[in-house]
Amino acid sequence: MIPNLDDRGQLMLVGAVVMAASLLALVVVLNSTIYTQNTNPGNSLGEMNEVERQLEVVRTDVDRLSDRLGQRDRYVDVHELNATLTVYGDRKAEQIVDRRPAYLDVTLNESASGLEREVLRQSNRSRAVLSRSNQSDWTLVENATFNESTPFELVIEPRSPTPTTFIAEGEDGGDWRLNVSQGPSNTVSVEVTYDNGTTVSESVSGNATRLNVTGGAIDGTQRFAFAPGLDAPYDLRVENGHRSGGAYHILVDEASDVDTGNFHTDPSDGQPYVSRELSTAVVDVEYVSDKVSAESQITVRLGGDSE
C-alpha cells in the first residue's frame, strides 16, 4: 500500500519534536555534569589548602619554640618540650575547632627523637631543694663528670642563716663544699670550702643568687673553682635542702648514676625531675576533619633547622 503524503508529513513533524526533546534532555544532563564537576573538587581543594596552611604554621611555631627552649640552657629536654607542645597543641586545637569541624594534634614522638645526656631539673624556684620523697639530705648524682657542656647551674634563694650545702666527693676521697645561706641586710652568703681547708666567701645583695656551681661563677662573675684537687668522677650531694628554695638543672653523661627514686619522671608544678636531652626532636602532627585527614612529621635539629 502506498502511504498517504499527509501521514508522511506528520511523521516528520513528530520526528522533529522527538529530536528537539532529545536535544533538550542532553542540554539538561550536560548542565548538571558541569555543575557537579565545578562544585565538588572546589570543596576538597579548599580543605587541602587549609591543611597545608595549618601544617606550615605548626612547623614554624615548633621551630621557634624549640629554639627558644634551647636558647635558655643551650639544650632542650624531653619533658620541657613535651610540656610546651602540649599547651601549644591544646590551644591550636581549640582555635581550629572554633572555626571548623576539625581536630589538630601535636605531640613529641619520643621514640623517634634523638636522645642524649640525662637532665636533672627543678624549675620552680620557690620549691625547696628536696628529693622526690621530700628528703633534705640526699644525693643528686653519683659518678658524674662535669665540664662546660655538662654544667650544674642553680638560682637559689636561702631562707635561713643555716646554710644549704652542696657537696662534691672525689673518686679517691676528699670533698668540696658550697654553702649558701641568708646573710644580714637582705644579702646572700656564699662560702666555698676546698678539700685543703681553705675557704672563699662572697656576699651578694638581694634575696637570691645565680650560681654556676661547676663553672665557679656567682651572678655571672667567676669567683671560685669547682673541686680542685679532687679526681673525677664525683658524687654530688645536698644537705639541708629544706633551708633554701631553688631552681636548678644538671646535665650529666650516661656513665653517671642517677637515683631515679629521687626524681619524678612526670612532674607537675616545678617538681624535681629526670629527663633526657634532645639532639633531634621529631614532632607528629595530625589534622583530621570531616573531609580530609593528614599526618605529618616535623624534625627539628636542635640548634639547626627543621625538615
Partner 1 sequence: MVTGPPKRRPPSDVDRGQAYTLEGVISAVVILTALLLATTAVVITPTTAGTIDRETMAQLGTQTDDVLATAHERDALREAALYWDSQDGQSGWPTAYQPGDACPETIADEPLTLCLLLEETFTSRFYRYNVYLDYQTRGKTTETEPLFVQGTPGRNAVTSTRSIALHDGMELTHGPGGTLGGNASKFYAEDLDDPTLVNVVEVRVVVW
Binding site for partner 1 (CB under 8 A): 4-6, 8-10, 12-17, 19-20, 23-24, 27-28, 31, 35, 49, 53, 56-57, 60-61, 64-65, 68-69, 71-72, 80, 83-84, 87-88, 91-92, 94-95, 98-99, 123
Q: What is the spatial distance between Cα 95 and Cα 100, in angstroms, rounded to a whole number?
A: 9
Nearer to partner 1, 61 or 284 (CB): 61
Amino acid at 262: N
CB of 94 to partner 1, least distance (A): 6
Nearer to partner 1, 88 or 143 (CB): 88
CB of 91 to partner 1, least distance (A): 4
Write down the residue that cell numbers 627558644 correspond to.
68
CA 223 vs. chain centroid, Å, equals 33
Nearer to partner 1, 42 or 161 (CB): 42
CB of 226 to partner 1, least distance (A): 27
Nearer to partner 1, 71 or 260 (CB): 71
- The conformational region for residue 261 under phi > 0 = left, psi -120 to 50 = alpha, else beta, is alpha
CB of 67 to partner 1, least distance (A): 9
Residues in contact with 104: Cβ distance below 8 Å, sequence separation at least 6, in sequence order: 54, 58, 89, 92, 93, 96, 285, 286, 287
Nearer to partner 1, 1 or 197 (CB): 1
Q: What is the spatial distance between Cα 143 and Cα 209, in angstroms, rounded to a whole number?
A: 27
Residue 233, preceding bond cis, omega within 30 degrees? yes
CB of 245 to partner 1, least distance (A): 16
Q: What is the spatial distance between Cα 258 and Cα 277, in angstroms, rounded to a whole number?
A: 14
If you compute the radius of gyration of the chain from its CA atoms, what whole number of angstroms results?
35
